[in-house]
Amino acid sequence: MFLKDKKILITGLANKYSIAAGIAHAMHREGASLAFTYQNERMLKNLAPIANELGSSILIECDVSSDDSIKKSFTQLKKHWDTFDGFVHSIGFAPADQLLGDFVDVTTREGFKIAHDISSYSFTALAKAAKPMLNDSSALLTLTYLGAMQSLPNYNVMGLAKASLEANTRFLAASLGSDNIRVNAISAGPIKTLAASGVKNFRKMLSQHSERAPLGRTVTSEEVGNVAAFLCSDYASGITGEITYVDAGFNTAAMPLNDKG
């Protein structure tokens, strides 16, 4: 129970397939008390039963594209928790037309702005809003993807937004370190979720992943959840500003093992 006595806010749980769901389950198992934010009313139907199962009745609307919504959500949270011990940022978005076709042809100024706003700036915005309520030894966590480091088809402007998010993680870590608040990211391998289904040929990504990854498979949101729980616990007290890969080793292998010849 290495998160006993920790209060953690989870964002981005859209349904049971969300990576945030795997994280919430692992954190609950390790003794954390949880609160949740959801993007809009439509998300509440799937979130409510999961939160209930995890012993939480703190469900707060927060659309990260709006400063007003972020502000209101922390005012709401304050009614339940005076202070807390960190949050998980499991939010990403780019308009569908940005994730289909050749990067140089499909990327627009508006698409670029939206992807960076929702997928990267929102991490800074949430940290800013949460800071006055964060306890000593708090931990912030976000979810990134290898597309930040290497190009691949169709991921397009999301790769740029994830690169920004990874830099964001390092700058937030530097900024909040003197308050003993740690900031980390998990770079997860591809997992079939609602957001992932917006990337064209996602199924192909899954099969190619299994071929090249040293473990010969993809990862589950439960495996991501276990690492997330560790990174937000005091066992990780010496780790900040890091990108931790939970991808069955995919990023470490240049070629599939069955190409030995």
Ligand X SMILES: NC(=O)c1ccc[n+]([C@@H]2O[C@H](COP(=O)([O-])OP(=O)(O)OC[C@H]3O[C@@H](n4cnc5c(N)ncnc54)[C@H](O)[C@@H]3O)[C@@H](O)[C@H]2O)c1
Q: Does 65 bind ligand X (CB under 6 A)?
A: yes
Q: What is the dihedral of CA 62, 233, 222, 7, to 10 degrees?
A: -40
Segment interacting with ligand X, rule: CB under 6 A, options 24-32, 56-64, 103-111, 126-134? 56-64
| Distance of closest approach, residue 160 Cβ to ligand X, in angstroms | 13
Q: Does 226 bind ligand X (CB under 6 A)?
A: no
| Distance of closest approach, residue 91 Cβ to ligand X, in angstroms | 4
Segment interacting with ligand X, rule: CB under 6 A, options 9-17, 96-104, 130-138, 166-174? 9-17
Q: Is 121 a catalytic residue?
A: no
Q: Is 155 a catalytic residue?
A: yes
Interacting positions 82-141 with ligand X (CB under 6 A):
90-93, 118
Q: Does 176 bind ligand X (CB under 6 A)?
A: no
Report, as residue numbers or ranges, the catalytic residues: 145, 155
- Which residues are near ligand X by CB under 6 A? 12-14, 18-20, 39, 43, 62-65, 90-93, 118, 143-145, 188, 190-191, 193-196
